[in-house]
Each structure stands twice: as structure tokens, then as C-alpha cells.
Structure 1
Amino acid sequence: MSTEVNTIPIVNLGQLGLGVSEEPREEEWLRVAKELKGAFCGVGFVYLDNHGIPSTLVEKVFGSAAKFFSLDKEIKTKYRKKSFGSVEGYVEMDQEQLDDKTDKLFEIRESFYLKYMETGIFPVEEVPELKSHMTALYDACLQLIPRLLTAMSLALDLERDFFTLNHQKLQTMSSCNSSTMRLNYYPPVPPNTPEKSIRCGTHTDYGTITLLFQDSMGGLQVQDVSGSWVEARPIPGTILVNAGDLLQIWTSGKFVATVSTI
């Protein structure tokens, strides 16, 4: 059974997690499907436990990301996104505004977008290990995501391969697929920060699902079905997953793309 922390369910993937030697039994697929459905039809977020992606790998990614974001601004901007429509590169503070429904807010956040693991933009001179760590995490996610997509199909009483067949380009992260990996860094609040400042504006994610690996700092809030803001506190060893706009449209609103902010 799933449990709840602040209305966000925890789903134990059990036999669906990576590294399990036995093939998942059908009842396991149906259990996870039912629990994912409850989460995505409700708050739109879910913690995944026993997913099989090593915590040591996630910590390596956090460590190499921290090295990059600690570099001097002049170095980081060498890897700046080339244009608004670019899918890779570094984004400085206040260069993105996720909340377009309110007055302009100063967003105290830096990001680094990655898409093409083999040929992408990486700071190989300054943080050479970032590429190998991100590639390993990317490969692990590519193993896990089809299992989630299959469970989501079963949750909606569709053919079990419905979502996986409609996400075939995910395996190559090709230009035909808009999926990306993004590192986010929330630095200390700088002096003389504008009064209207925020870490990350209120928004919904635009894709099918987002896999969020949290550090221990926390700060993420999501808006539950009653309109109240709920703390999505980090739970060690879990992945926080949420439904995006595309999934909400795809399911005619049955699965909810929840508003979140930091």
C-alpha cells in the first residue's frame, strides 16, 4: 500500500525497480499502476521508493554540478545557452521567468540544460567528471522511465505499450524529442536583490512526466487539489515525479499537471 507525506503519496516500485532479477508479476504491475493513478489523479506528484537508481550516483551528480555552479561567472558563461530556443547550456540568474501570470519576478536560480550526452555542451576542462556522471544518470533514467510509462498505461486501462510506443524517440534524446535533463542551482540571496524576488516562479511542467532528484535542502512547494500549498520535503532515496501539461492533455485532465514553486 502507498503511504502519504503531506498528501504526496509514496509508491514502492518493488519488482518494477531497477536491478531486480525476477520479472515483475502482473499483480505488481497492477498495484503500482493503481497507486500511480491515485497520485496523478490527485495531487499530481508522487515519491518513488525502491526505484533502483543508486543514491551514490545521484550524489556524484550533485557533487559535479556543485563544482560547475561554483565556478566564476566568466567561466560559466562560456557555456551559455546560445539562444532562447536552444536546448543546451548554462542559464544565469533571472534569465528565465517560469511564472508568466504575474508581474515580473527576479528569479534567483541558475540552470544548466543537457540533451545530447555524446555530443552535448559539457564543461570538460573545468569539471570533466560531469559528463560521465550525467550520462550514467541519463542511462539509468532511460531504463526506469519505460516501466513507469507501462504502469501509467495500465492505470488508464490502455494497451500496456501505449505510452512507450508514443515515446520511442526518448531512447536517443534525438531532435525529434523535447526531453532534456536540467541541473538547477539556488544560490545564496545576493545583496541588493529586487523586492519582487523568488527562487523559481509558479509553473507546471510542459512534458509527460518529470523525474526530480532532490538534495537535502528542500523548498519545493506544490499546490494540492484544494488550492493549498504543500511542502514537497526531500525523502532520502526517493525520486519525486510529477505529471506535466502534455500528460494532462493526453488524459483529458484525468492526470493533473500540478502547479509548483520554490
Structure 2
Amino acid sequence: MAQYTHVELLTLKGPEYRRVSTAPPRLPTDEEIPVVDLSPIHGDAAARAALAAQVRAAAENTGFFYIRNHGIPQGLIDGALSQAKAFFDQPEEAKQKVSNFKRKHMDGYHAVGTTQVNKTETKDRKETFSLRYNGRNDPTQPDASPAWDDSPMWAGTAHLPSFRDTTVAFWQARLALARKMVQIFALALGLPETYFDEVVTHPGADGLYVHYPGTPEAELQGKDDVDVGIGSHTDIQCFTLLWQDMSGGLQVLSGADEWLDARPIPGTLVVNIGDYLQRLSNNRFRSTVHRVYNRQRTSRYSMPFFLGFNPESVCQVVPSCVDEGHPALYEPISCGKWHRDRLALAQGKAIAT
């Protein structure tokens, strides 16, 4: 007989509890986490509509899917991974020079054990370097310029050849892809494909390098479970683009309350729905609980990109997801306030009103 426990998640309305099977993670079916060929994104209206139908099915099921033929060159991905490794291979004192705690900013370094995304689980065994949206790095902005290289963060990494240039180029490529995906999500919601274009001109757009250190052999052999790499959570923004290495470790909660082993597939990115897009879709699209474990002695690397809308844009449930039988479940809120309040909740701070 199947046995279950519960995962506790913090929300702005208090804790929520999700039933979770205690069985080991299993492989997903093709319907639970499908592989979507993104090449029709450059096709005619019929091709894009067919692509949107595939995305809609995935978003309404588990809220996770892989994309292939996404257009980001493999050489750029490899270069970004190389720069991530070079950064994390530094002594701790060198990484702390660009700590975002010191800079009181979203950009920069978070050390291992300084975050705990789920307060009922262990601290997160990971370290990160993050780059948030800056119009100077956005080629679509008229005032974009190379002046960003004067930032103290870049000064703190100037000794790493190509770190700044590659990191920004990879961030730009993912932002361009995310803006194309926004149009497909609009079609998937039964809206004109340009419906969200005005709210992604200067969006929340955070690109991260993440390093999950290897787990010592003694710990692997010493207990049934190791510390979580990142605890059980849902993503805050609209959606996430994730590159992961071949180590494995990403686990996704299925609609049947079972952990799915979202193993890496070469040449793909993982896309998953975030909480803000679930709000806009009136819960049609699913922001699904997921977590990461690194149950191996060697390092695991991933490079997620989180896309939200322009911070000041106040968005509400879209009209295609509301009718007499399905009233809007959520009040309008700006993406910036939503993001700030959720981050404050995660950090145990008071919510601004």
C-alpha cells in the first residue's frame, strides 16, 4: 500500500501542505514531462499555434517540459559553464568580494548554506552567482551601452578571463528566448501572441550559475538521506528556463503526488511554470513543487533563468481564463510587489503593504 507524507510550503496566505508519496522518484511519462521541439516558434501562424497547443498541454499537466532546438548555441552554453566553474573554483574569500549580502543587491554571490528555501528541510547545499536585469545589458533598450563593465561586481571578477562577457552574452541569449516563449504562452492561453509584449520590455530576469558541491562519501554511506541541494519549492516568477548538467538530481512532484526524476536530456532546456503565471492563468497552468538532491561525490552544475514581467506592471487573471463558471481567483498585483513579497517571506521578513 502506498504511503504518503506532506511537504510544507510558505505562501502569502500562510503555510500550505502538499501530499507526497514516500516512494523513490520514478521516471516521468512522456505526457508528464514531454519534450517539445521549439523550431516551429519561427514558423507561420499555424505552426506557432500547434506549438502553443503542445505547451498548453504540458503547462496544464505537470507544468514542466523540455525544449529542444531552442536556438541558444551549444558553444555559448559550454562557455558559460566553463566560466561558472572558474568562478566557483575560487577560494571563498575571492567569491565573497562579490557577495550580494555585502552589496545589498540581487546580483552577486550566495555561499553554501546561506539560503533555506524550505524551512522544514535542511539548508540548501548550493552556492550561486546571479545576474539580474539591467537595461544596459539589454540590446533592445535604446540606452544600452558597455558602461556596465564599471560595476563593482565586474571589478570583483576582472581576474577571470571572459567571465563578464560570457555571462552577459548567455544572459542576453536566454532573455531573447524567454521573450519568444512569452508569445507562445500567450497563444497557449488563447490570447493574441503579442498580449504580454508590453510587460516584458524591462522584466524581472535573473540568470544564475548554481554549484551543488559533491556529498562526502561518509555522508552518503552514513544515513538514508543527504542534505537537500535546494529544498521543495515552487518558482516565484512567470516561468523558468533551466540548463542542467548530466548529474541528475532534479525531482518534480507529479499530479499523482509522486516524485518524478527529471533526468537531463542532452541538447535540451527544462521549462517550468512559476507562481505568477499560475495566478494569471487562474490556476489552469501549474506551478509545480520541485527540489534538487546531489547524491554523488562530484559537483553538480545548473544554470537557471527566471523571467517575470516589468516590475511596475499590474497584472490580473487574463480574460480568456475567466467566465461565469470560473471567476477570477486572484486580485491584481504588480509583478514587482509579488516578487518582493515572496522573497521577503522566504527570508522571514515583514511584508510591505
The bucket for the TM-score relative to the shorter chain is 0.7 to 0.9
Q: Percent identity?
A: 29
The answer for the alignment partner of 1:240 in structure 2 is 270
1:167-202, Cα deviation, whole Å (9 max, x unpaired): 2213xxxxxxx3211111001235997987211111
Moved more, 118-127 or 239-248: 118-127
Matches of 1:82 and 1:106 in 2, distance apart?
Answer: 17
Q: Indicate the residue corresponding to 1:66 in structure 2.
A: 85
What is the CA distance between 1:68 and its match in structure 2?
A: 0.6
Cα 1:166–1:4 shift into 2, 3 Å:
farther
CA contact (8 A) 2:175 2:205 kept: no
Q: Which of 179, 187, 196 is the equivalent residue of 2:213?
A: 187
Instruction: State the partner residue of 2:74.
Output: 55
For 2:144, the equivalent position in structure 1 comes to: none
Question: Aligned equivalents of 1:35 and 1:219: distance in 2?
Answer: 26
2:285 matched to 1:251?
A: no
Residue of structure 1 in register with 2:129 after alignment: 112
Moved more, 80-89 or 140-149: 80-89
Which piece of structure 1 moves more, 151-160 or 120-129?
Answer: 120-129
* Distance (Å, rounded) in 2 between the aligned partners of 1:207 and 1:243: 8
Query: By how many angstroms is 1:248 displaced?
Result: 0.5
Per the alignment, residue 38 of structure 1 pairs with 57
Question: Could you tell me which residue of structure 1 aligns to residue 341 of structure 2?
Answer: none
Q: 2:230 aligned with 1:200, yes or no? A: yes
CA distance in 1, matches of 2:230, 2:103: 18
SS across alignment from 2:257: coil
Alignment partner of 2:188 out of 134, 137, 155: 155
- Aligned-pair distance for 1:134? 1.5
3-state SS of paired residue (2:179): helix
Moved segments of 4+, more than 4 Å: 3-6, 190-196
Q: Which residue matches 1:175? A: none
Quick one: distance in 2 between partners of 1:44 and 1:12?
Answer: 16
- Between the aligned partners of 2:108 and 2:284, the Cα distance in structure 1 is 34
Q: Report the secondary structure of 1:152's partner residue.
A: helix
TM-score by length of 2: 0.65
Partner of 2:142: none
Runs (5+) with no aligned partner, structure 1: 17-22, 171-177
State the alpha-carbon separation in 1 of the partners of residues 29 and 193 from structure 2: 27
- Which residue of the other structure, out of 100, 114, 125, is the alignment partner of 1:81? 100
Q: What CA distance in whole angstroms lies between the structure 2 residues aligned with 1:190 and 1:125? A: 32
In structure 2, distance between residues paired with 1:64 and 1:190: 25
State whether residues 124 and 228 of structure 2, in contact with CA within 8 Å, keep that contact through their aligned partners in structure 1.
yes
Q: Which residue of 1 aligns with 2:291?
A: 261
Q: Secondary structure at the match of 2:128?
A: strand
Q: 2:206 & 2:173 partners in 1: Cα distance? A: 14
Q: Which runs of 5+ in 2 are unaligned?
A: 1-27, 138-147, 293-353
SS of 1:202 mapped into structure 2: strand
Q: Deviations over 1:109-157 (max 9, x none)?
A: 0011112443552343332312111111122122212221111111111
Residue 215 of structure 1 pairs with residue 245 of structure 2:
yes
More strand by share: 2
Counting matched residue pairs gives 245
Computing the radius of gyration from Cα coordinates, the structure with the larger value is 2
Asked if the contact 1:47–1:241 (Cα under 8 Å) also holds between the matched residues in 2, the reply is: yes
Please give the alpha-carbon distance, in whole angstroms, between the structure 1 residues aligned to 2:257 and 2:180.
Answer: 31
**TM-score, scaled relative to structure 1:** 0.86
- What amino acid is aligned across from residue 125 of structure 2 in structure 1? I
